[in-house]
Amino acid sequence: MMDKHAQPLLNHLGAYPFERLKKLFRHSTPNPELLHIDAGAGEPRLPLPSFVQDTLNEHIQGFSKYPPTRGNADLQRAIAAWLKRRFHLPHLDMRTQILTANGTREALFAIAHALVNPEAEQKPYVMMPNPMYQIYYGAAITAGAEAYLLPCLVDGGFEPCLDDVDAKTWERTAFIYVCSPSNPTGWIAGHDYYARLLELADQYDFYIVADECYSEIYSDTPPVGLLEVAQGLGRTDFSRCLVMNSLSKRSALPGLRSGLIAGDAKLIARFAKLRSYTGAGTPLPLQAVAAKAWADEGHVAEHLEVYRNSLRAFFDVWGKAHEPAGSFFVWLPVEDDEAFAIAAYEQQAVTILPGSYLGAEDAQACNAGSGYIRAALVDGEDKAAELAVRLKKVKV
Ligand SMILES: Cc1ncc(COP(=O)(O)O)c(C=O)c1O
């Protein structure tokens, strides 16, 4: 008899990386002689931007109202203005081409449920980089799709490799997640990469979801965005394109839970329908803070300086290595990533994430994250240097 309580799709997912990490460390204690450095989670730990407290006080009464799911007009206007400024999109329409989200995590997850047809004769593919932000994988599986993994390897500069994908696979593809700048590798999609994907999307009828959460953290020039490339190619309706961005990294406000979704009006309408069922609106006082944060570049420039100095401080100690073009993660090769993580914790009181927890096994049982560790430089310059000193001392 069929078990009515079984959750077959969810059961295909393993534990989330941080749960796995807890389990990995269950018999370990961090070296008590050292202060713990937590470089495991990508959680910025910079001072609150100065406008947060006052704006919150000013709008406190908003907690007594239900917030609109799509965001209120002030926030939508601030988001549209930022996207127009940052990505040179003069014609972006705030009414039809923008939605707000409670951070992008939930939106990146939910989008699969709006773009995948689980009743298709053959399971559709959702393409994604490998290693990846694990939400993409969970979203694809629970939406009834199959995850198609694009290996991101050091020899290819960690670019999600499109070369080996054949026509049959593209035909089955419902959509692709691109993460640029990439968590965890720091790779950035250039103009040509996005342009090629747009061509393929037209040829094989699929959508592109670009996770650009780290777009304001980069080593030299600001990364190009998917919508900007689309518009440059004459695609002013952004057809087939959705981008997600967030205040969590740019403004160091991960607890605010505020992000944006922008692009193709048809996809936005479809997503808005799904979100009218699933997505809670961001509380109004938080929307007011978010509107201020999208409008202010001063604090973002200060944060960028801290991230750049932290990366410099880390690599000054660590020495020659792959340096990320964007994001605040370092992605370092090691022999055995789990063994290294345990040793770093026990010997040096450092928490980092084994790379295999950010990858998935492909058909050849190869996990493109294995043999790497990810460390987040989120505590400023001094801690970044200290982290490099301690990681260098780890003996496996
Ligand atoms: C690649 C990537 N995308 C999206 C997110 C989600 O961020 P938030 O939900 O805070 O906007 C994260 C957070 O760590 C991330 O690393």
Q: Separation of 67 CA from ligand 1 center, angstroms?
A: 22
Is 373 in contact with 341 (CB distance < 8 Å)?
A: yes
Q: 22: which residues sit within 8 A by CB, 6+ positions away?
A: none
Is 183 close to ligand 1, i.e. is its CB under 6 Å away? yes
Neighbours of 8 (CB within 10 A): 7
Q: Separation of 23 CA from ligand 1 center, angstroms?
A: 23
How does the average pLDDT of the chain come out, rounded? Answer: 95
More confident: 68 or 176: 176
Is 242 in contact with 207 (CB distance < 8 Å)?
A: yes
List the chain domain ranges: 10-47+299-393, 64-296
Is 213 close to ligand 1, i.e. is its CB under 6 Å away? yes
Q: Give SS3 for 180.
A: coil
Is 111 in contact with 131 (CB distance < 8 Å)?
A: no
Is 136 close to ligand 1, i.e. is its CB under 6 Å away? no
Structure confidence at residue 341 (pLDDT): 98
Q: 26: which residues sit within 8 A by CB, 6+ positions away?
A: none
- Mutation test of ligand 1: which of 99, 217, 248 has the most ligand atoms closer than 8 Å to its C-beta? 248
Q: Which pLDDT tens digit goes with each residue over 33-78?
A: 999 999 998 888 888 999 999 999 999 999 999 998 888 999 999 9
More confident: 177 or 12: 177
Is 377 close to ligand 1, i.e. is its CB under 6 Å away? no
Q: Could you tell me the CATH superfamily of domain 10-47+299-393?
A: Aspartate Aminotransferase, domain 1 (3.90.1150.10)
**CA 52 – CA 253 distance, rounded (Å):** 10
Given pLDDT bands bounded at 50, 70 and 90, which one contains residue 320? Answer: confident
Q: Sort 317 into a burial class: Cβ within 10 Å, 0-12 / 13-18 / 19+.
A: middle
Task: Answer yes or no: is pLDDT of 183 > 70.
Answer: yes
Q: Is the peptide bond before 324 cis (omega within 30 degrees of 0)?
A: no
Can you give the pTM of this predicted structure?
Answer: 0.96
**CA 218 – CA 244 distance, rounded (Å):** 17
Q: Which pLDDT tens digit goes with each residue over 366-385?
A: 899 999 999 999 999 999 99
Is 40 close to ligand 1, i.e. is its CB under 6 Å away? no
Is 101 in contact with 261 (CB distance < 8 Å)?
A: yes
Task: Answer yes or no: is pLDDT of 2 > 70.
Answer: no
Q: Separation of 248 CA from ligand 1 center, angstroms?
A: 7
Fold of 64-296: Aspartate Aminotransferase; domain 2 (3.40.640)
Structure confidence at residue 82 (pLDDT): 98
The atom number, within ligand 1, closest to the CA of 108 reads 4
Neighbours of 96 (CB within 10 A): 14
**CA 87 – CA 237 distance, rounded (Å):** 15
User: What interhelical angle do 337-348 and 381-393 show, nearest 10?
Assistant: 110
Rg (CA), the chain: 21
The atom number, within ligand 1, closest to the CA of 182 reads 1
Is 105 close to ligand 1, i.e. is its CB under 6 Å away? yes
The atom number, within ligand 1, closest to the CA of 183 reads 1
Is 393 in contact with 347 (CB distance < 8 Å)?
A: yes
Give me the residue label for tokens 């009743």.
119
**Residue 365 carries which side chain, given as an amino acid letter?**
A
**Looking at beta carbons, which pairs linking 267-270 to residues 24 or more positions away fall under 8 Å?**
267/114, 267/115, 267/207, 267/240, 267/241, 267/242, 268/96, 268/97, 268/98, 268/99, 268/242, 269/96, 270/114, 270/115
**CA 340 – CA 28 distance, rounded (Å):** 13
